[in-house]
Each structure stands twice: as structure tokens, then as C-alpha cells.
Amino acid sequence: MNPLTGTVILTCFLVFCRIGGCLMLMPGVGGRNLPPQVRLFLGLAVALAFVPATYGLVAPQVEGASPARLLVMIAGEVGTGALIGLLARIYILALETLASFMAQAVGLAAMPGLSVEDNAPLPTLATLFTFAAVALIFMADQHLELVRGLFDSYRRVPPGALFGARPALVDLVDQLTAAFLLALRIASPFILYSILVNFAVGLINKFTPQIPVFFIAGPFVTAGGLLLLYASVEPLLSGFLLAFSQWLRNG
């Protein structure tokens, strides 16, 4: 193998490391529903598409690099890509958490379901919300915006740069704050509904302690929660998609 061929192969591999690290955690792609072989070929396809545009940035770092330096570069590229994918995935994780509370608020937490991304058990309502959010991300071509942001990351984090743990933790904490505040705004109608309904049922039960009001009111609480879901699901998911797209444009 001549030096030029080795440089090209290592360059392609380093580009694949960043792409693969992102796709490993990217919403919808890094989940359990996509087979690993599909993720592998998708990562190879995106990496080969990136190589002509990033060759001038990556190849000089590879030429003449020692094996120890190459290992550090591989770890840095995987960490950079994984951080980008994790920052996007946090939005789905936050939505899953607050959607589980929404299911509890309307009395549907006992209905079993599975997470869209993982094998963790979730209420059916939470599965519905997260599946709809992931589907909207792909329908609105926001996954292409994430790929564009991954390409722009080569200017912000040049290949071969050491992976900074402190900036990564700062970005991670900021993203956790923004994502959970967004999920809290989405779940706020159901939080208010739960407070008002439980207060009303508790007040009625106080006046008529001989009647099991909580058991009788269960179906009515669930019916009211489903009506609230029917009336608010479109603006809530639209707000989630808008916030996610704004982060992709600004992040």
C-alpha cells in the first residue's frame, strides 16, 4: 500500500468515525427499529459524501501521524459525533419523560408500551407522542438539517482537535435545560388538568366520604384527558418541532 492510498483510507475512516458517532445516537436512526446493517451502510454513504468536501481538512492531520496520534484523533472524532447526536436525542428523551407524566395525569399510565428509541417500557401515550415527534422530524426534513450541522461541525471543531470535556459538559447541561423546559411547556396543560381534577375529586370526596369518588371518577378523568389531548396535540407537537428546528439552525 503506497502512502497516498493509506492517507485516503485513514481520511475516509476518520470522517466515518464522526458520522458514525452521530448516527449512533441520532433520533430515529440510532433507535432499536433500524437494523445495525442499515445504520452501517447509511454511515458509510454519508461519510463518502463528506470526504470530497472535508479531504483538505482531514488529510493533512493524517499524513505522517503516529499510531498514538491516530488513536487520539479517532477517539476525538467519535466523541464529537456522539455529542452532536446526543444533543439532538436529548429532546426525545425529555419528551418521553414528560409524556410519561402526561399519561399518569390522565390515568393511562397502566397501559403498557415500548419506547420508540429503546427497549424501555413506556406508557402508550408516551410512545404515541415520541413516535409522532420523530416522524415529524423526518417529514419536515430536519434530519437533513442535522446532517448539515454535522458538516458545519468540521469548521467549529477541526479534525484532530482534542475533545474538550468541559465545553462538551457545558453544551450538554444547556441542552438538558432547554429540552426539559420545552417538554415542561408541552406537558403544562396536562399538569394543570391533573391539579384541577385531583383537587375537585378530593373536594367531592371530602363532602361525601361514604362514596368511593376516586374509583367512580376514574373513567371521567381519562375521558377528559383524552379530549384535552385531542384538542392540544397539534399545537404541542408543532411547538416541539419549531423548537427543535430552531436549535438545529442556531446550534
CB 27 within 8 A of CB 93: no
- Domains: count for the chain: 1
Query: Does residue 2 surpass a pLDDT of 60?
Result: no
Stated pTM of the model:
0.83
pLDDT tens track for 47-103 = 888 888 888 888 888 887 788 888 888 888 888 888 888 888 898 888 888 888 888
Residue bearing the bigger pLDDT, 250 or 232: 232
Q: How many residues does the chain have?
A: 251
Query: Does residue 222 surpass a pLDDT of 60?
Result: yes
As a whole number, the mean pLDDT across the chain is 82
Helix (H) or strand (E) holding 168: helix 165-207
Q: Determine the Cα angle at 87 with ends 146 and 115, to 5°.
A: 95
Burial class (CB in 10 A: 0-12, 13-18, 19+), 173: exposed
The pLDDT assigned to 33 comes to 75
The pLDDT assigned to 251 comes to 63
Task: Name, of 4-8, 106-110, 245-249, the range with top average pLDDT.
Answer: 245-249
State mean pLDDT over 111-125.
74
The pLDDT assigned to 131 comes to 85
The pLDDT assigned to 4 comes to 60
DSSP lists the bridge partners of residue 109 as none
**Which structural domain, as residue segments, surrounds residue 187?**
3-250
The pLDDT assigned to 3 comes to 61
Query: Does residue 175 surpass a pLDDT of 60?
Result: yes
CA distance 39 to 24: 8
User: Under DSSP, is residue 123 helix (H, G, I), strand (E, B) or coil?
Assistant: strand
CB 182 within 8 A of CB 240: yes
CA distance 58 to 173: 29
* DSSP characters over 222-250: HHHHHHHHHHHHHHHHHHHHHHHHHHHHH
Query: Does residue 199 surpass a pLDDT of 80?
Result: yes
Query: Does residue 209 surpass a pLDDT of 80?
Result: no
CA distance 219 to 62: 65
